[in-house]
Structures are given as structure tokens and as C-alpha cells.
Amino acid sequence: MLKSTLAALGALLALLALYLLLWPVAINPVAWDAPVNRGYVDPFLPNDLLTAATSISLSQYEAPEDATLGSDQRVYVTTRNGMIVRVQNRGISEYADVGGRPLGIEADQDGSLLIANSYLGIQRVTAEREVITLLDEVDGKPLNYANNLAVGKDGAIYFSLSSSKFGAKEFQGTYDAALLDLLEHGGHGSVYAFEPTTNKVTRLLDGLNYANGVAINDDDSFILVAETGHYRILKYWLSGERRGEREILIDNLPGFPDNIKSGANGRFWIGFAAPRNDLIDKWSDKPLLRKMLQRLPSSMRPSAQPFSHVIAIDGDGDVLMNMHDPSARFPTLTGVLETRDTLYLTSLFGNQLPRIRKRDL
């Protein structure tokens, strides 16, 4: 009896080992060396500045990933079900159903809204609320994970393709696709410049590990890009003597940077969707173990941990603002929209749009 029990147990363990080693998964992890996590040290020391935030309920509309200030001085927010919601004071209303899963949003100079839709590509919502698809493929391939965008004064649209391999719709949504891309670390992200008048598309950056937020400075001389999987912000020069050059503006961040949004007085706001994961860092140079990790039940794999943290930097990478909420009332923050008197906080989950009056800081 004991021998048969041990034999059965041995067979079970052998099957488990074979499963962990051989079961096919979507990722093919690449070895890399994660920088040593310094944690929340200066200039990222914990504080309670975000506790001043109050919340606007978006009712049935969830996951306010990004927001922009329209030409009518109202706030427009992207939501998970494809609806663009308009916010005025504490009231909300439906503005346009763009379908898919809209992520990034910016106001264009003509009063229209530009959308980076992770399922459908780059869209425009006209002042008459007509939804137009401007771009749905790049290099002959579907634009399967457009994430964030910025618009120049000349109308050029700069946008990120988070992952050419793990499409948002194909892999059951933006969050699941992001986890796959981050765990693989295969350099599938890119940033493009798109000229709507000529339909010309130019790749500016490639080989990025989850290309995310994109913002442009006041004189259109550079853009900033969040490379989420590498915990860093890149700077790409659009004009001047350094045109076409890229540099690492700020690296070894304490969390996963998400959106970047241009603010007042040359500020750029960055939201952190989650703090760094010790296991992902520890196993960065161990692709086999990361592949085995993907074979575990989803509840045992790394996921975004609740945390509330945003910063503002200048164009040189100096940290100007550092804001936390220790209680993480509004976790997984993606970014900040700054208006004349208010900071609006966007997030991956939930149906709340937090805001902070500047006078309360």
C-alpha cells in the first residue's frame, strides 16, 4: 500500500514538473538585469499629499485610464466600456461611444478629441461627436495596442504601441496583455509620429519594453516616453541639434510608470500603476523561471499591488512633486490631468475619478 502510494505521488510530481517545464504559454521570456530597487527614497519619500483627494463617481463607467481638458474647459475621460465621459464639476454625461477600449486622450486645436484606442487604433471625435478612425494599422499590421498619445502644434500625433506581440483585444484586455509583455520583456514596444493630413507614419523608437505614456513639451522640441517594463522615462528630441536622438531622462524608478501628461509651467505628470515586484526583479535574468511562473494559476502570478503614487518632473528629469496616499484609497493610478486649479487622478480600475484642488495642497 505504501509503495503504491509513493509511486502515485512520484508520478504526480513528475507530471507537475513536466507541466511547469513544458506546458505551452504565450510568453518567451528574455533575460535582462533589473536595476537594484532603491525603494521609496528621496526624492520619492512617502507622504500623505494624495489624501487631500476627493472623488467624483463615474457611475457605471469604470477604469478612467486617461483624461484631458477640452476646448470647452470640461474634462473628458476614457472608460473601459468604450464610452468617453464628460465631467463638469461633479456631474457626468456620456459624450461619445468610440467602442473598443480607449486609453489615451488629448484635445486637438480644432476642438476635437484624439483617442488612442487599444483595440481600434487612433481615433478622432469631432466637435459634432462623429467618431473617425484615423489609423488602424502600422507597417501593414493591425495597430493592436495603441496606448497613449500627444499632439504637436502642427497637428502631428505621437503615440505609443505598447506591444506588437501581445495585442490588447487578443489577450483578453489591456491589463492581461500588459502582464504578459512585462513578464516576457521582449522589447515589443514602439513610439510613432503620425501626420493625419498625409497619413505618413514614422517610427521614432522601437525595442521598448511596454511603451506607455507619451507627452510633448511646450515648444514641440521633444517628447517624453514611459518605458514601463524598464522603470524609466525616455526623452526623444524632435528638433534642434539633437533631433532624432534619445536619452534616458530618469531611470530606476520605484514603480511601473504609466501615463505622462504635460502640465503647467513645463511640468510633466507621471502616474505609477503599481510598485515594483521583487520576484520579477529577482528573476529578471532567469527566463526559464519566469516562463514557469506563467504556468501557475493567475492568482499565484505577479499582479499590480494597491498603491497610490504620482510625481511631476521637469524636462531635465528633476522631480518637482512627489505625492502619495499611504492608505491607497485610489490604487493603480495611471496619471494626472492638471488644470488651472485642479489635479485629476486617473486609474486602471474602479469607477471613481479622484481630484485635488490645488489650494488644498
Backbone dihedral region for residue 201 (phi beyond 0: left; psi -120 to 50: alpha; all else: beta): beta
Report domain extents, the chain: 56-360
| Domain made up of 56-360: CATH architecture | 6 Propeller (2.120)
pLDDT in tens, the chain (361 residues): 656 665 555 655 555 555 455 567 789 999 999 999 999 999 999 999 999 999 999 999 999 999 999 999 999 999 999 999 999 888 899 999 999 999 999 999 999 999 999 999 999 999 999 999 999 999 899 999 999 999 999 999 999 999 999 999 999 899 999 999 999 999 999 999 999 999 999 999 999 999 999 999 999 999 999 999 999 999 999 999 999 999 999 999 999 999 999 999 999 999 999 999 999 999 999 999 999 999 888 888 888 899 999 999 999 999 999 999 999 999 999 999 999 999 999 999 999 999 999 998 8
Enumerate residues 6+ apart whose C-beta is below 8 A from 181.
162, 163, 165, 166, 188, 189, 209, 210, 229
pTM: 0.94
**Three-class SS state of 176:** helix
The DSSP annotation for 301-312 comes to S--PPP--EEEE
Query: What's the first-to-final CA gap in the chain, in angstroms?
Result: 71
